[in-house]
Amino acid sequence: MHRYALGALVLAVYSLMSEATEMQDKLPLITEFTTSSPDLGWFVVNDNVMGGRSDGGFKLENGRLLFSGSTNTNGGGFSSIRSAPVELDLSIYAGLRLNVIGDGRRYTWRLTTNARWRDRQVAYWADFDTTKGEMITVDIPFTNFVPRFRGSRLDGPDLNAGEVTSMGLMIYDNLDGPFELRIDSVQAWK
């Protein structure tokens, strides 16, 4: 009788360990770009807000977000999209994971929190490179995010991943010309 109880206990522990490993392997999804995923209320902010001449926007296409346009450094030189306000506590994670198909240019992921500098909202930027025409996975540690205000680097405060209030994607690589980035998903990773 004890042998059967011990066997059942071992089987139950093994089953729980398998489920825990499986759960650990699945990264929490922040968003993907399908009709069944949450709508984060993306909107466009280009450098024309400060007199620039860049043009950019986004659309959902075949389960991906397509961010495209053209940058012009005779002015601000950037194009961006941003989410509507969110409330994300990512404090138990190490960073963000993006699955993207790029064009070889450098992009910036942007986060905001409740942090303020001179009573104005601080944005946190982390750059990542892409490979032209290739699907790549980009891991961006939260430690790579740099505090900025209107593009100028600040000395602090550091990013608090426990109080993310919005996300964004930007191109601001000091180059002129067309850009195109496709994103499959945004996840958090440990």
30-85, pLDDT tens digit by residue?
988 888 887 889 999 999 988 889 999 999 988 999 999 999 999 889 999 999 99
The answer to whether residues 100 and 179 touch, using CB atoms and an 8 Å cutoff, is no
The residue behind tokens 């963000």 is 96
> What is the spatial distance between Cα 190 and Cα 177, in angstroms, rounded to a whole number?
36
pLDDT for 13 equals 35
User: Which residue, among 112, 113, 141, has the nearest Cα to 128 in the 3D structure?
Assistant: 141
User: Which residue, among 155, 165, 173, 183, has the nearest Cα to 47 in the 3D structure?
Assistant: 173
pLDDT tens digit sequence for 170-185: 999 999 999 999 999 9
Select the more confidently predicted residue: 6 or 56: 56
17-21, 27-31, 61-65, 143-147, range with the lowest pLDDT: 17-21
pLDDT tens digit sequence for 133-143: 999 999 999 99
The answer to whether residues 105 and 190 touch, using CB atoms and an 8 Å cutoff, is no
Average pLDDT over residues 10-28: 44
Q: Above 70 in pLDDT, residue 15?
A: no
pLDDT for 26 equals 64
Q: For the chain, how many residues are written?
A: 190
pLDDT for 37 equals 83
Both tokens assigned to 136: 């790549």
Q: Give the Cα-Cα-Cα angle 8, 14, 16 (nearest 5 degrees).
A: 105
Helix (H) or strand (E) holding 185: strand 177-189
Q: Above 70 in pLDDT, residue 5?
A: no
Render the burial of 124-154: b for 16+ CB within 10 Å, e for the rest. Answer: bbbebebeeeeeeebebebebbebbeeeeee
19-33, 89-103, 164-178, range with the lowest pLDDT: 19-33
Radius of gyration in angstroms for the set of CA atoms belonging to the chain, rounded to a whole number: 20
Fold category of 28-189 in CATH: Jelly Rolls (2.60.120)
